[in-house]
Amino acid sequence: MKSAMWQLADMLFPSRCALCGMTDHAASDGGNAYCPECIEQLTPEPVNRCQRCAAEIGPFAKSDKGCTHCRNRTLRFNTVVCLGMYEGSLRKALLAAKWSFSAVRMRSLGALLASRRSAELNEKPFDRIVPIPQHWRQRIVRNFNPAWIIANELGSQLNVKCDVHLLKRALRTRPQKRVSVKQRFENQSGALAVAHPHAVQGERILIVDDVLTTGATCSEAAKVLKAAGAKSCTVAVLARVLDHSA
């Protein structure tokens, strides 16, 4: 829901770029919150990414068995699609979008993910789009769940049904930031449940979150979805965050 303050800002600055503040960006496509120049910075051309975790790797590095960032981890999803690494303009835009009063910026970033990575996202059609549910503590401090907004946007752009209530938080897990990488995976075990297991039988699922760090949460989601009979699980996130404590 839009706050009154944000509605007023939208009225006063209808075409203000949410990143650089430029007021004249009528050329921006589809009512995006960012100007064309910022969109270019937010969506750099895909470089060589790890097939498994989407981390940027050397131009000739092979990643069929993962990369230095994910090799020791059990990741249950098949692959990851993202706009880019969590740095520079994308990091700045994502942080601002996450803590914004309205979901306009997050929706714009979701639209960019759908349009700029459409080749990867349309390679294999998905049957269902499933966002990662928010932790109960996050629900208290945030205005919206970024994963829901991005998933809804991907759903409408890719014309795939978005099922926001399929995954449920099963346990009161601790927020991921406070624990080590090893603990993150243990912490997530049993944290998610599928609300209607019969629904995903034989389906190709697109799991959506705002960022992918260790991959523990998305891996747990893929684990429970595959246990319920899902055929494959691809992950779509805005950015890949490298955790250097691995």
Residue pointed to by tokens 């098949």: 78
| Cβ 80 vs Cβ 242: under 8 Å | no
| 215 sits near Zn ion (criterion: CB under 5 A) | no
Q: CA–CA separation, 114 vs 164, rounded Å?
A: 18
Minimum CB distance to Zn ion smaller for 20 or for 246: 20
Q: CA–CA separation, 174 vs 184, rounded Å?
A: 9
Q: Which of the residues 164 through 193 are near Zn ion (CB under 5 A)?
A: none
Cα 244 from chain centroid (whole Å): 20
Candidate segments 32-40, 148-156, 226-234, 236-244, binder of Zn ion by CB under 5 A: 32-40
Exactly one of 35, 82, 160, 218 binds Zn ion (CB under 5 A); that residue is 35
Q: CA–CA separation, 91 vs 85, rounded Å?
A: 8
Q: Which of the residues 42 through 81 are near Zn ion (CB under 5 A)?
A: 50, 52-53, 55, 66-67, 69-70
Minimum CB distance to Zn ion smaller for 25 or for 226: 25
Candidate segments 16-24, 108-116, 170-178, 215-223, binder of Zn ion by CB under 5 A: 16-24
The torsion angle over the Cα atoms of residues 195, 199, 201 and 203, rounded to 10 degrees, is -100
Minimum CB distance to Zn ion smaller for 67 or for 205: 67
Q: CA–CA separation, 221 vs 218, rounded Å?
A: 5
Q: How far is the CB of 52 from Zn ion (least distance, A)?
A: 5
Minimum CB distance to Zn ion smaller for 82 or for 208: 82
**DSSP 8-state code for residue 234:** E
Q: How far is the CB of 234 from Zn ion (least distance, A)?
A: 15
With vertex at residue 155, the alpha carbon angle to CA 153 and CA 157, rounded to the nearest 5 degrees, is 70
Minimum CB distance to Zn ion smaller for 38 or for 192: 38
Exactly one of 28, 32, 38, 89 binds Zn ion (CB under 5 A); that residue is 38
| 19 sits near Zn ion (criterion: CB under 5 A) | yes
Q: CA–CA separation, 135 vs 174, rounded Å?
A: 9
Q: How far is the CB of 32 from Zn ion (least distance, A)?
A: 10
Exactly one of 20, 179, 181, 246 binds Zn ion (CB under 5 A); that residue is 20
As a residue count, the chain comes to: 246
Under the phi-then-psi rule, with left for phi > 0, alpha for psi from -120 to 50, and beta for the rest, what region is 21?
left
Minimum CB distance to Zn ion smaller for 20 or for 96: 20
Minimum CB distance to Zn ion smaller for 164 or for 181: 181
Residue pointed to by tokens 């940027």: 56
Would you tell me which residues interact with Zn ion (CB under 5 A)?
Answer: 17, 19-20, 22, 35, 38, 50, 52-53, 55, 66-67, 69-70
